[in-house]
Structure 1
Amino acid sequence: MTAQDIIQQIKKGQVAPVYILHGEEAFYIDQVSDYIEKHLLDESAKAFNQIVVYGKEVDARTIIDEARQYPMMAERRLVILKEAADMKSINDLADYLKKPVPHSTVVICHKYKKVDKRTAFGKACDGKEVVNLESKKLYDNQLPNWVLARGKETGIKLDEKGANMLAEFLGNDLSKIDNELSKIKLNAGDKLVTIEEIQDLVGMSKEFNIFELQTALASKDHYKSWLIANYMAENPKASPIQMAVSSLYNYFVKVLTTTQKTNASDAELQKDLGLGSPFFVREYKMAAKNFGEEKTRAILVKLMEIDLKSKGVLNRHADDGPLYKDLVRFVLG
């Protein structure tokens, strides 16, 4: 069951006695718990029937006692436990989960990690009256499509390149991406958001950024590659080497895949590379032609080496400048 499935059920009046929201991705956990907190009870009923508590501050007995109280002038009570992973007595909730009271809804938010199904609490989470949501981290190649879909949900018109830019620049943090999309919506309204507007809003240089470096390297444009790399090396706060290496590694993994799919059509490559549209296929094919499989594999090994050096491993001085230069020299050499 997805976060949207749960929300749609609640909108239809199908409310469960217990919701267990757990997993590494906080975004969907917050999305469901925020919706329930805002919409399950009428405003007039919240004062006496809704309680939000935190795992570090309460024990299981408090949760159970609150849930077993009868609602005052309302159909149900709502008890939301946030930061449940911090509650030491969480296993003591097991018996309640097996037989929850029908007049209360208990929402347990267990963010940043899965519930351990070997524990008493974990085993009870599979009870017939419990709705489970495991919120998993998206893979990097799923992010651009997620950005496009989320933008559409919020009324933002993005193109493929803009979605890729946001995904690469902001990383695998859906809450952070969603916040940036909200800012974009305020500024752009209903019109198509341009690459330049995205760069302005997220504080990215228009000419000297990781996406321009990728394109310059892919086309073996020595002048532009060195120009961008030197700028990024001199501005490590805006362009940290570890972020650049991560983006380039993901990029060259796709280049490697392209080198191995010489007979694939553009549509097949689009699917294999996890691209939302064929827009970028041409660039990956160009890079694959320019580097070939053997060189691309060597580039991936070099990127792993630079990543270690940037973290102080194999390298006493982990300044960004020499690492950027070493990277470009190797890729273009």
Structure 2
Amino acid sequence: MTPTELKRAIQARKIPELLFLYGEEGFYLDKAVQTIREALVAADTRDFNFSLYHGKTLQAEAVLDTARTLPVLASHRLVLIKDAQEIPAAQLEAFIPYLKDPVAETCLTFVGDKIDGRKKFFQEFKKHGALVEFKKLYENQIPAFVQEQARERQRSFTEDALALFCRRVGSNLQEVHGELGKLFDYLGAKTLVDTADVAAIVSDTRVDSIFDLTNVLGRRDAAEGLRLLGRLLDEGVAPLLILNMMVRHFRQLWKTRELVEQGVPHRDLARRVGVNPYFIDGLVRQCKSFGPRQYPVFFDIFLAADLALKSSGAHPSAVLENLVLTIAAHRDAAAGRE
């Protein structure tokens, strides 16, 4: 069963008696659990018909006793087990007989990070219940998520505001949802979000600075590059995080450069690079600042910096300053760059 199919089943009041929800996308997973609870158990009978257990400490016999107890003054009972990946093997095995003959009035729901399809428990669960995986969204799916959340609150974004918001918040949906809440509270009665609103509320100078840093390196402006690097370090951003962000950005630039040279249509670039469409114009502009043969050299430089940062004798700021100066000074002779 997919998350979409589960959503339809909940809306149709046809929730399976056995559910195992798992995956990396905690936001949608938590939302599904909340929706199931609200659909199955009324607030005024929740004390009698909702039971919560945790995988590491549960005793299967006690959980099953609850699951086999008919609901009180209601049509259904919900038995929820969180952190199901921590259930001891012997306790997990004890659920197998129940899987083959579940109580119709009880929804036994497991929630975990992952499953192990080799185990007999999951093989039986697949036969009698529904396994629902919540996969982490790709970066290029975040704008659609933001727009969906905005529509639910009767709000909308200008194109530039959406691009800035997505660049600053990243891809963690819990954080995205939280930042949207702050932004919408700030808007008051205003319904259209513009860049000034995003700039006022959503702050992530790390991402902006990395983007700016790459720009100035492409212009061979070492002095401005060192200034931007210094600002990141002064703000307390860990040196390894700065390096990782640079590596990620240059990887996107390299991939963009190769796709452009292959003649891939502009409309397909974002999907092929794996970024949201609002970033692709900036990546196309930046990728042309470096010759094709420079990218492999840069990744050798990144590797050397990574090793230096992880050694005991290297000074982090000196390592990163040398990295910035080296990239800014590098020339692609084969491409005729100066």
TM range (shorter): 0.7 to 0.9
Aligned to 2:100: 98
For the residue of structure 2 that corresponds to 1:264, the secondary structure is coil
1:226 paired with 2:223, answer: no
Aligned to 2:322: 326
Aligned residue type for 1:290:
S
Aligned to 1:252: 250
Are the equivalent residues in 1 in contact too, given 2:93–2:121 (CA < 8 A)? yes
- Once residues 143 and 247 of structure 2 are traced to their aligned partners in structure 1, the CA distance between those partners, rounded to angstroms, is 16
Matches within 5 A, 1:80-91: 80-88=80-88, 89-91=91-93
- Once residues 138 and 52 of structure 1 are traced to their aligned partners in structure 2, the CA distance between those partners, rounded to angstroms, is 28
Instruction: Give CA-to-partner distance per residue, 1:163-195, whole Å, 9 cap, x none.
Output: 555555555432222222222222235534344
TM-score (norm 2): 0.83
Change (3 A) 1:213 1:87: same
Q: Report the alpha carbon displacement of residue 41 of structure 1 after superposing the two structures with TM.
A: 1.6
Q: Report the alpha carbon displacement of residue 79 of structure 1 after superposing the two structures with TM.
A: 0.6
Matches within 5 A, 1:116-195: 116-128=116-128, 130-158=129-157, 169-189=168-188, 190-195=190-195
Aligned to 2:67: 67
Larger Rg: 2
Aligned residue type for 2:244:
S
Aligned to 2:52: 52
Q: Which runs of 5+ in 2 are unaligned?
A: 330-338
- Once residues 318 and 18 of structure 1 are traced to their aligned partners in structure 2, the CA distance between those partners, rounded to angstroms, is 55
- Once residues 214 and 157 of structure 1 are traced to their aligned partners in structure 2, the CA distance between those partners, rounded to angstroms, is 31
Are the equivalent residues in 2 in contact too, given 1:84–1:90 (CA < 8 A)? no
Q: Report the alpha carbon displacement of residue 30 of structure 1 after superposing the two structures with TM.
A: 1.0
Change (3 A) 1:222 1:159: farther
Aligned residue type for 2:191:
K
Change (3 A) 1:271 1:35: same
- Once residues 240 and 161 of structure 1 are traced to their aligned partners in structure 2, the CA distance between those partners, rounded to angstroms, is 29
Are the equivalent residues in 2 in contact too, given 1:218–1:286 (CA < 8 A)? no
Change (3 A) 1:215 1:176: same
Q: Which runs of 5+ in 1 are unaligned?
A: none
Aligned to 2:235: 235
Change (3 A) 1:203 1:16: same
Percent identical residues: 23
TM-score (norm 1): 0.84
RMSD over equivalenced CA pairs, Å: 2.9
- Once residues 11 and 161 of structure 2 are traced to their aligned partners in structure 1, the CA distance between those partners, rounded to angstroms, is 33
Structure 1 window deviating more from structure 2 (165-174 vs 222-231): it is: 165-174
Are the equivalent residues in 1 in contact too, given 2:222–2:325 (CA < 8 A)? no
